[in-house]
């Protein structure tokens, strides 16, 4: 089956769950992957690359379940140029109504040296593996990794081989963010013009942001004839990240006058999924990030504010509501009732059942008693960050911290571990350090603290602090988060949240198992 698309339609291929999750520390749980996939499917993403099935049993299970639950999107899995990878990928994605196999191999001189293959040997492998994939699935994507640093003659040769072997989509990755817009457009344009069979396939672009040009390079590739863009939510990805989905979609919408191509993405769902990906990945969005940053629609300059009051279009080229950002901000307080809370959560993109609302309402009232004013961002943090699970093996019951300028800080922490209450006191270089040491006395561990990050949810001295903690232990990485008006409490709960995730992954992996069975940090 030859896959076609309208000449003015650009397919959005989201790889947040695969390439985005490869970003060190961005590992998501099984449940979080399913949730993000559901949001992507609902917002109109054409293709979801759900993971790398052969990487681990967990990745396989996540891809398979996403495939079973998909309603609208094509579900894709990644596979190296090996029969075993491709078979495993097919086993995972075959459950989808619209499955796709994406297989790749590094074609630049640097990448050819890794498997120590000659050009001819690699060409043979490409033919054999793409043919094998096409025999399993009629929707096959092939990528020459590091294509932008591959010799032109060889790139054209292997693209032709992949097309003849049955690939329906040819993706051209700028794996290390090396190319520039004019080169990106010319490369796609030349491949379409000179490679036999190019008119029968869709060309795709996959750009990294090492030089800050991922979005520009992707749009240039579309101008050159590509009709699929690979991207991630918030630009999540290795090193400087990938092309940001929100930037691509909004650029095509706002500048449709000079870029006459469209997508099927519901842009009003952008902010909700951006916030969720930031939460589950532990990678907060920078304040001045295009489209989804906190300051993207903020105006402080007097001239700008004056212009906005007279006509919003003077300094805004798109409306906040176009990306799902609510205009109202301060409407909730300690006197608000359940109906008002449910309505506000619906405005923010959350649909909650009666039992869930009951739990959220209790926590909302506790927050409202501590804060004078409850903002939208506070409610989002309440919904998304640091919700203690009744099934967690480790739970903080009480904390007492003493600190000041006269000496080391002291923290006394009471915890419940597998139903047993334990208390410990420790000293440290500051209240957070003392709290972490007390927790380690209660629950000894060898986890290495890779990241400790604090940011205020809103303004003011009573603002909630959202804390992210990333831990690494025996090759497994877990990110914990929590929010509280007390930064030390939020820090301790985020630390315990990460420890619980490590325990869960260790339990699922079994004795002596490694959660990541193979290394796949170097793909496309």
Q: What is the 3 state secondary structure string of 357-371?
A: HHHHHHHHHHHHHHC
pTM for the model: 0.79
In our burial notation (b when 16+ CB lie closer than 10 A, e otherwise), range 325-354 reads beeeeeebeeebeeeebbebbeebbbebee
| Coil vs helix vs strand at 113 | coil
Residue 206 labeled ligand binder: yes
Distance, C-alpha 6 to centroid of its chain? 28
φ, ψ for residue 55, nearest 5 deg:
-65, -40
Q: According to the model, what pLDDT value does residue 385 have?
A: 54
Q: According to the model, what pLDDT value does residue 330 have?
A: 43
Find out whether 379 and 343 touch, Cβ atoms under 8 Å.
Answer: no
Tell me the per-residue pLDDT of 471-485, one tens digit each, with 9 for 90 and over.
999 888 888 888 888
CATH domain 394-509 topology: Double Stranded RNA Binding Domain (3.30.160)
Residue 242 labeled ligand binder: yes
Residue 6 labeled ligand binder: no
**What is the DSSP secondary structure assignment for residue 388, as one 8-state letter?**
-
Find out whether 127 and 161 touch, Cβ atoms under 8 Å.
Answer: yes
Residue 30 labeled ligand binder: no
Domain boundaries, the chain: 11-281, 297-325, 327-384, 394-509
Q: According to the model, what pLDDT value does residue 121 have?
A: 97
Tell me the per-residue pLDDT of 356-376, one tens digit each, with 9 for 90 and over.
888 888 878 887 887 767 777
How far, CA to CA in Å, does 173 sit from each of 133, 381, 523?
20, 36, 10
Tell which residue, 177, 154, 170, has the closest CA to residue 224. Answer: 170
Q: Is the dihedral of CA 153, 154, 158, 159 positive or negative?
A: negative
Residuewise pLDDT in 10s, the chain (524 residues) = 334 456 799 999 999 999 998 887 777 888 899 999 999 999 999 999 999 999 989 899 999 999 999 999 999 999 999 999 999 999 999 999 999 999 999 999 999 999 999 999 999 999 999 999 999 999 999 999 999 999 999 999 999 999 999 999 999 999 999 999 999 999 999 999 999 999 999 999 999 999 999 999 999 999 999 999 999 999 999 999 999 999 999 999 999 999 999 999 999 999 999 988 988 887 889 889 999 987 887 644 344 334 434 555 554 688 888 998 865 444 577 778 888 888 888 877 788 888 888 888 887 888 788 776 777 777 877 776 545 455 688 999 999 999 988 779 999 999 999 889 999 999 999 999 999 999 999 999 999 998 898 887 777 777 788 888 989 998 888 888 888 889 999 999 999 999 998 998 777 666 544 444 333 333 44
Tell me the per-residue pLDDT of 215-258, one tens digit each, with 9 for 90 and over.
999 999 999 999 999 999 999 999 999 999 999 999 999 999 99
Domain 11-281 classified CATH 3.20.20.70?
yes
Find out whether 236 and 16 touch, Cβ atoms under 8 Å.
Answer: yes
How far, CA to CA in Å, does 127 sit from each of 278, 362, 484?
39, 60, 56
């Amino acid at each position: 089956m030859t896959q076609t698309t309208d000449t003015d339609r650009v397919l959005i291929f989201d790889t947040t769950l695969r390439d985005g999750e490869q970003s060190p520390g961005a590992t998501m749980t099984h449940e979080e992957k399913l949730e993000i996939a559901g949001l992507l499917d609902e917002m109109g993403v054409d293709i979801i690359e759900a993971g790398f099935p052969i990487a681990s049993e967990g990745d396989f299970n996540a891809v398979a379940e996403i495939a079973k639950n998909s309603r609208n999107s094509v579900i894709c899995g990644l596979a190296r140029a090996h029969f075993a990878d491709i078979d495993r990928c097919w086993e995972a994605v075959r459950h989808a109504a619209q499955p796709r196999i994406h297989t790749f191999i590094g074609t630049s001189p640097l990448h050819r040296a890794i498997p120590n293959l000659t050009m001819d040997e690699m060409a043979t492998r490409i033919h054999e593996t793409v043919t094998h994939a096409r025999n399993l699935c009629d929707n096959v994507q092939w990528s020459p990794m590091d294509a932008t640093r591959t010799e032109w003659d060889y790139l054209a040769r292997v693209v032709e081989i992949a097309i003849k072997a049955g690939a329906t989509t040819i993706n051209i990755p700028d794996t290390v963010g090396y190319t520039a817009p004019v080169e990106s457009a010319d490369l796609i344009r030349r491949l379409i013009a000179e490679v036999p069979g190019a008119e029968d396939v869709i060309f795709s672009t996959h750009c990294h942001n090492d030089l800050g040009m991922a979005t520009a390079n992707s749009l240039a590739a579309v101008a050159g004839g590509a009709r699929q863009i690979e991207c991630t939510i918030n630009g999540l990805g290795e090193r400087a990240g990938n092309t940001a989905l929100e930037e691509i979609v909004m650029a095509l919408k706002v500048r449709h006058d000079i870029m006459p191509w469209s997508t099927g993405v519901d842009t009003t769902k952008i902010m909700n999924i951006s916030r969720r990906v930031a939460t589950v990945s532990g990678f907060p969005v920078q304040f001045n990030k295009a489209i989804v940053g906190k300051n993207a629609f903020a105006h402080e300059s007097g001239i700008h504010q004056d212009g906005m009051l007279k006509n919003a279009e003077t300094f805004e080229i798109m409306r906040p509501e176009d990306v799902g950002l609510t205009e109202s901000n301060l409407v909730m307080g300690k006197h608000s009732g359940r109906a008002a809370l449910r309505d506000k959560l619906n405005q923010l993109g959350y649909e909650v059942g009666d039992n869930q609302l009951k739990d959220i309402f209790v926590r909302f009232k506790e927050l409202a008693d501590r804060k004078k004013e409850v903002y939208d961002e506070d409610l989002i943090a309440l919904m998304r960050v640091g919700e203690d699970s009744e099934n967690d093996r480790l739970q903080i019951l009480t904390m007492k911290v003493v600190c000041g300028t006269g000496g080391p800080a002291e923290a006394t922490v009471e915890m419940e571990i597998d139903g047993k209450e334990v208390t410990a006191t420790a000293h440290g270089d500051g209240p957070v350090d003392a709290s972490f040491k007390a927790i380690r006395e209660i629950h000894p561990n060898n986890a290495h603290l890779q990241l400790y990050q604090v940011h205020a949810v809103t303004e003011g001295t009573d603002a909630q602090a959202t804390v992210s903690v990333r831990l690494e232990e025996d090759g497994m990485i877990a990110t914990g988060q929590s929010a509280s008006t007390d930064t030390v409490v939020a820090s301790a709960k985020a630390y315990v949240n990460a420890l619980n995730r490590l325990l869960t992954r260790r339990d699922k992996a079994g004795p002596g198992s490694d959660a990541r069975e193979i290394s796949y940090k170097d793909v496309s």
